[in-house]
Amino acid sequence: MIRAAALTLIASIPACQADETVARYGAADRLWELQTLNGAAFPARATLEFETGGPVSGHAPCNQFTTTNTVPYPWFELKPIAATRSACPELEAETAYLEALSRMTQSEVREGGLFLRNDNGEELVFTTRD
């Protein structure tokens, strides 16, 4: 009887754990718009949205995409990024955005900004109007 109760308790622990992704630390329920990629103004519109628990979606200059981020804050890892496949004049900017986004390993949310970085010195800076 005690053993069955202990097993039930252990099995329920993952369901009770709080979200520890960047979403919980201020990124959720906001539309983040890319401002700069590696210090340069981004030439097109690109966004990110975070949901509690890890789902991430957004718009690259040409296509919508979806992915997940399940590593604990401040770490950041998107795998895999699935995007629609429409062509547009900003396709080069889209490729640069999605490739850079996939290389980010750290996140920081502060003062209306979302900063994604990696150990190679790359950085994406987003702002929100929310």
Query: Strand 123-128 to strand 40-41: parallel, antiparallel, or no bridges (unpaired)?
Result: unpaired
What confidence score (pLDDT) does residue 16 get? 43
In the predicted structure, residue 14 carries a pLDDT above the cut 50: no
In the predicted structure, residue 15 carries a pLDDT above the cut 70: no
What confidence score (pLDDT) does residue 19 get? 85
Question: What would the mean pLDDT of 9-20 be, rounded to a whole number?
Answer: 53
Closest CA to 58 of 72, 69, 48, 43: 48
What whole-number distance in Å separates Cα of residue 113 and Cα of residue 7?
43
pLDDT digits (tens, 9 = 90+) for 83-94: 999 999 999 999
Q: What's the whole-model pTM score? A: 0.84
H helices then E strands: how many in the chain?
Answer: 2, 9
Q: Which amino acid is at 113?
A: G
What confidence score (pLDDT) does residue 129 get? 84
pLDDT digits (tens, 9 = 90+) for 109-123: 998 999 999 999 999
What whole-number distance in Å separates Cα of residue 4 and Cα of residue 92?
57
pLDDT digits (tens, 9 = 90+) for 27-77: 999 999 999 999 999 999 999 999 998 999 999 999 999 999 989 999 999
Q: Give the SS3 label for residue 113.
A: strand
Which carries the bigger pLDDT value, residue 18 or residue 2?
A: 18
- pLDDT tier, 17 (very low <50, low <70, confident <90, very high otherwise): low
Contact 108, 118 (CB under 8 A): no
**Can you name the residues that pair with 64 across neighbouring β-strands?**
59
For the chain, the first-to-last Cα distance in angstroms comes to: 51
**How far, in whole angstroms, is CA 84 from its chain's centroid?**
17
